């Protein structure tokens, strides 16, 4: 009896020790990724995503050699790890840092690319995979599997793309890619969840309508939940004003409310990505202005740091997991077929993206009166190319659909997992490296600078950066309004001021801000860190 107890204790100790060693190695690798990425940033070719993937691949090779080819990763991939712990800070920070005026003024084009474009890409990948994979005899894949493949490979990777592009040099392209990337990820996950909730053995017109209705329901309710969570945090912090005693409470409440909105969305089986994104937008518009100045600085850098670490962690693990020997053993008997499947998927990604970028850009240009607001052909090519990169969302959805706890013994499922990893690695490294010189070639720096300096400063222009390091200031707003004020009756008629944004601003200033706070509605307390920057209301 004592021997069994001691044996169990030894097993538990060895497992705990192995876990501690794995965490230490992973933290060390993260540190190395940040340092090496910083050193390689000077050449303007590499970025943290590609650096992390390369380091992950090298680490996987070392582990393969040292373990005799039995394993290649430190930790088994977990969908819960990705969706519950790593993805929330990335998406929330994207919503929190977004420049709201440009995002919502360009909202229709972003939605056109992010929703309609994703659905077009999904349809092309789904139909192409259905027809070609059956001829290639990939495995026992059902209709639900093909629909899942469509959603998996319609999810772009805005993280890596935004690291490649520079919003100061290419603000128009940065705006389009960022806005589409966030909405695209949310649309892909919503569509994936909607498909999983239906019995697809019998597809008819009623099922298709129900699928569309479920998609719209998830999209709408998820957005409303995020807005509600953001408004609730703004109202509570404004009324109680925790900064009187401790800025730590304000920061803690913002972090916990953002994470609570994400987890509530997961609990109700909604789109957590959409929820936490709009929660970040609302918090930056109301809650952020209700806290003390020290809390503003702290939250801004805290959210950005958490997002940065999560991004590096994801790409490091994707690179390491690509060499997982167990998945490749299942498909090792047919390497030619595996390469063929990956090539077909990559080709469908290329075609599916081109099928909506150019036509939808044409439609978007029809609604733009100013030539400066229209997307040129060269810019369309860059948008098409930059959105070809596939990343962690695709890998996570593939694992969620085709594996159990990261493992599978089914040939078809293993083929999909290995092909997804192949497409992600190839698109991230190859397309990511080529994006920068492609931008330099199609949009020369001299011409770009000259065009930016000669363009009128219009608040509706796409050339204004969408994502910034800080939040809008009243001075910038006043300057923009002064520059765009109509100077003649002809300009007033050609550029009407009573837009949707105009009415929203009136409603926001008269109803929302007095209730939930925001810029200009911060309560004044003597001795507060914001005493010098905020006037009493």
Range of the domain at 347: 79-442
Structural domain contains residue 137: yes
Residue 255 neighbours by CB under 8 Å, 6+ apart: 299, 302
Q: Which two tokens stand for residue 172?
A: 């128009």
Mean of all residue pLDDT scores within the chain: 75
387 is a domain residue = yes
- Residue 158 in any domain: the answer is yes
Q: Which residue has the tokens 């005493």?
A: 531
Number of structural domains (the chain) is 1
Between 195 and 105, residue with greater pLDDT: 195
* pLDDT per residue as tens digits for the range 29-40: 889 888 887 787
Pairwise CA distance, residues 511 & 62, whole Å: 60
DSSP 114-159: IIIHHHHHHHHHHHHHHHHHHHHT--S--HHHHHHHHHHTT---HH
Give tens-digit pLDDT for 399-454: 888 876 555 667 778 888 888 888 988 888 888 778 777 777 877 653 443 343 33
In a domain, 451, yes or no: no
Q: Per the structure block, which two tokens stand in for 163?
A: 């690291």
- Could you tell me which residues are beta bridge partners of residue 404? 407
CATH of the domain at 267: 1.20.1530.20
| Cα–Cα separations (whole angstroms), residue 427 to 40, 156, 162, 395, 473 | 20, 10, 14, 13, 38
Mean pLDDT of 293-312: 88
| DSSP-H helix ranges across 388-512 | 392-402, 411-426, 432-442, 445-454, 474-483, 489-494, 500-507
Report the candidate in 268, 270, 242 with the shortest Cα–Cα distance to residue 256. 242
CA–CA dist 470, 468 (Å, integer): 5
Residue 214, domain member (yes or no): yes
CA 464 to chain centre: 20
Per-residue confidence at 257, pLDDT binned at 50, 70, 90? very high
User: pLDDT higher for 536 or 6?
Assistant: 6
Sign of CA dihedral 260, 265, 271, 274: negative
In this predicted structure, what is the pLDDT of residue 229? 94
Q: Summarize the confidence of residues 211-240 as an average pLDDT.
A: 88
Residue 74 covered by a domain: no
Predicted confidence (pLDDT) per residue in 315-357, tens digit: 888 888 777 777 777 777 777 788 888 899 999 999 999 999 9
Phi, psi dihedrals of residue 166, rounded to the nearest 5°: -125, 120
Task: Answer for the pair 157, 391: CB distance below 8 angstroms, yes or no.
Answer: yes
List, in order, residues 6 or more apart from 445 with CB less than 8 Å away.
169
Q: Which residues contact 308 (CB under 8 A, 6 or more apart)?
A: 48
Residue 472 has pLDDT above 60, yes or no: no
| 2 located within any domain | no
**Residue 23: inside a domain:** no
């Amino acid at each position: 009896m004592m021997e069994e107890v001691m044996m169990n204790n030894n097993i538990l100790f060895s497992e705990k020790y192995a876990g501690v060693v794995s965490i230490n190695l992973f933290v060390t690798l993260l540190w190395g990724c940040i340092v090496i990425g910083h050193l390689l940033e000077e050449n303007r070719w590499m970025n943290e995503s590609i650096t992390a993937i390369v380091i992950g691949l090298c680490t996987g090779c070392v582990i393969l050699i040292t373990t005799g080819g039995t394993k290649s990763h430190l930790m088994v991939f977990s969908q819960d790890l990705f969706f519950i712990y790593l993805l929330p800070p990335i998406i929330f920070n994207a919503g929190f840092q977004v420049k709201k005026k440009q995002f919502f003024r360009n909202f229709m084009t972003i939605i056109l690319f992010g929703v309609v474009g994703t659905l077009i890409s999904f349809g092309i990948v789904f139909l192409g995979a259905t027809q070609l994979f059956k001829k290639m005899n990939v495995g026992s894949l059902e209709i639900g599997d093909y629909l899942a493949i469509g959603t998996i490979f319609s999810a772009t990777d805005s993280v890596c793309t935004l690291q490649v592009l520079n919003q100061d040099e290419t603000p128009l392209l940065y705006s389009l890619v960022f806005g589409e990337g966030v909405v695209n990820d949310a649309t892909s996950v919503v569509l994936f969840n909607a498909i999983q909730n239906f019995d697809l053995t019998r597809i008819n017109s009623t099922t298709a309508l129900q699928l569309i209705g479920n998609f719209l329901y998830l999209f709408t309710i998820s957005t409303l939940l995020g807005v509600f969570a953001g408004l609730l945090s703004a109202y509570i912090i404004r009324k109680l004003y925790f900064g009187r005693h401790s800025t730590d409470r304000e920061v803690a409440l913002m972090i916990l409310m953002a994470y609570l909105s994400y987890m509530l969305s997961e609990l109700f089986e909604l789109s957590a990505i959409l929820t936490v994104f709009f929660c970040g937008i609302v918090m930056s518009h109301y809650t952020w202005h209700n806290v003390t100045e020290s809390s503003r600085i702290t939250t801004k850098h805290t959210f950005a740091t958490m997002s940065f670490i999560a991004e590096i962690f994801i790409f490091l693990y994707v690179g390491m997991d690509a060499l997982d020997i167990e998945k490749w053993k299942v498909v090792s008997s047919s390497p030619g077929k595996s390469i063929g499947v990956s090539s077909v998927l990559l080709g469908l990604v290329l075609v599916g993206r081109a099928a909506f970028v150019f036509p939808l850009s044409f439609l978007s240009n029809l609604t733009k009166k100013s030539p400066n607001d229209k997307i040129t052909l060269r810019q369309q090519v860059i948008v098409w190319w930059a959105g070809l990169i596939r990343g962690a969302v695709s890998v996570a959805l593939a694992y969620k659909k085709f594996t159990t706890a990261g493992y599978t013994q089914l040939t078809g499922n293993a083929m999909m997992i290995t092909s997804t990893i192949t497409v992600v690695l190839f698109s991230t490294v190859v397309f990511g490296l080529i994006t920068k010189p492609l931008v330099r070639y199609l949009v020369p720096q001299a011409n770009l600078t000259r065009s930016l300096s000669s363009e009128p400063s219009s608040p509706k222009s796409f050339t204004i950066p969408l994502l910034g390091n800080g939040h809008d200031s009243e001075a910038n707003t006043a300057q923009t309004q002064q520059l765009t004020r109509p100077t003649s009756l002809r300009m007033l008629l050609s550029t009407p001021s009573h837009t949707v944004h105009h009415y929203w601003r009136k409603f926001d200033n008269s109803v929302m801000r007095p209730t939930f706070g925001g810029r200009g509605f911060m309560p004044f307390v003597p001795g507060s860190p914001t005493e010098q920057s905020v006037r009493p209301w």
